[in-house]
């Protein structure tokens, strides 16, 4: 017979479930992102970096080569600014979540080479290579 109480078992179960949930969120977040190596190759070939954070976030700090088109404006503003639907677009935001949403929106508009670069920090580390 175990010396473990019901409360201790529930605490371990809760901790395990929380840990698995966090791991799943991390994996799902990363799974939609382009690899660093591929992003660097695209940048060397003329890819555009699109920052989908708000104007205020962009003003506070941004990548020098980035074009700012906030997520809420992507569907209207980006097609006016970038007409070539084959142009490689590397999108990023603060965490990688908004850029993932923006990629899905752009793909539905026919932009076949839109990729999620991920977070600002990841974009900065890749664009600086």
Structure token digits, residue 34: 């382009």
Q: What are phi and psi of 21, to 5 degrees?
A: -65, -45
Per-residue confidence (pLDDT) for residue 64, from 0 to 100: 93
Q: Say whether both 69 and 27 belong to one domain.
A: no
Q: Say whether both 24 and 36 belong to one domain.
A: no
User: What is the rounded end-to-end Cα distance, in angstroms, of the chain?
Assistant: 59
Buried b (16+ CB within 10 A) or exposed e, 78-117: beeebeeeeebbbbbbbebbbbbbbbebbeeeebebbbbb
Give the whole-number percent of the chain exceeding pLDDT 90.
Answer: 74
Range of the domain at 37: 32-127
Task: Using the predicted structure, report yes or no on whether residue 81 has a pLDDT greater than 90.
Answer: yes
User: At 49, is the secondary structure helix, strand, or coil?
Assistant: strand
Spatial CA neighbour of 67 closest among 82, 86, 45: 82
Structure token digits, residue 23: 């791991």
Evaluate if pTM is beyond 0.85. Answer: no
CATH code of residue 117: 3.40.250.10
Name 89's bridge partners: 48, 114
Q: How far apart are CA 48 and CA 31, in angstroms?
A: 21
User: At 17, is the pLDDT very low, low, confident or very high (cuts 50, 70, 90)?
Assistant: confident
Task: Using the predicted structure, report yes or no on whether residue 70 has a pLDDT greater than 60.
Answer: yes
Q: Say whether both 78 and 119 belong to one domain.
A: yes
- pLDDT single digits (tens) 18-67: 766 665 555 445 448 999 999 999 999 999 999 999 999 999 999 999 99
């Amino acid at each position: 017979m175990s010396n473990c109480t019901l409360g201790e078992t529930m605490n371990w179960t809760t901790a395990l479930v929380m840990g698995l949930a966090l791991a799943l969120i991390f994996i799902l977040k990363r799974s939609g992102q382009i690899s660093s190596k591929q992003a660097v190759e695209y940048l060397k070939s003329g890819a555009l970096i699109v920052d989908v954070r708000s104007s205020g976030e962009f003003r506070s700090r941004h990548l020098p080569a980035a074009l700012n088109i906030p997520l809420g404006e992507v569907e209207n503003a980006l097609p006016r600014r970038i007409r070539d639907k084959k142009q490689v677009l590397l999108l990023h935001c603060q965490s990688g979540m908004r850029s993932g949403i923006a990629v899905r929106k752009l793909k539905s508009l026919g932009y076949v080479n839109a990729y999620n670069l991920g977070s600002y920090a990841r974009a900065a580390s890749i664009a600086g290579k």
